[in-house]
């Protein structure tokens, strides 16, 4: 199975790219496991590229929130290239109040 995410740390910003079209229960488990393995020291904020994600469910939202909760201090999590169906779920849950989104 290929990696669900790729990640690198650049200037204390942990940049993740999701390589799946769905962020649902099976991929959310892999996402969290891989994130745990890839998480480097010195992370101050996270940017997640969701450009390939066409569908997200509660498990996927939980995976994103697990990243948010892991951030130190003034938490900053930005979602990039958010597709309309994913944006709709985030907005329905009013998570745009804590997550930054860029489509």
1 pLDDT more than 70: no
pTM for the model:
0.93
Q: Which domain holds residue 55?
A: 5-102
pLDDT digits (tens, 9 = 90+) for 3-56: 899 999 999 999 999 999 999 999 999 999 999 999 999 999 999 999 999 999
Residue 102: the pLDDT is 86
Tell me how crowded residue 36 is: count the other CB atoms within 10 A of its CB: 10
The CATH number linked to 59 is: 3.30.750.24
Confidence of residue 73 (pLDDT cuts 50, 70, 90): confident
């Amino acid at each position: 199975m290929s990696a669900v995410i790729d990640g690198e740390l650049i200037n204390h910003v942990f940049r993740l790219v999701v390589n799946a079209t769905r962020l649902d229960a099976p991929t959310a488990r892999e996402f969290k496991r891989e994130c745990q393995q890839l998480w480097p020291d010195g992370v101050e904020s996270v940017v997640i590229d969701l450009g390939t994600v066409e569908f997200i469910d509660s498990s996927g939202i939980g995976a994103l929130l697990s990243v948010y909760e892991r951030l130190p201090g003034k938490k900053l999590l930005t979602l990039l290239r958010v597709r309309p169906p994913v944006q709709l779920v985030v907005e329905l849950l009013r998570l745009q109040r804590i997550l930054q989104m860029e489509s």
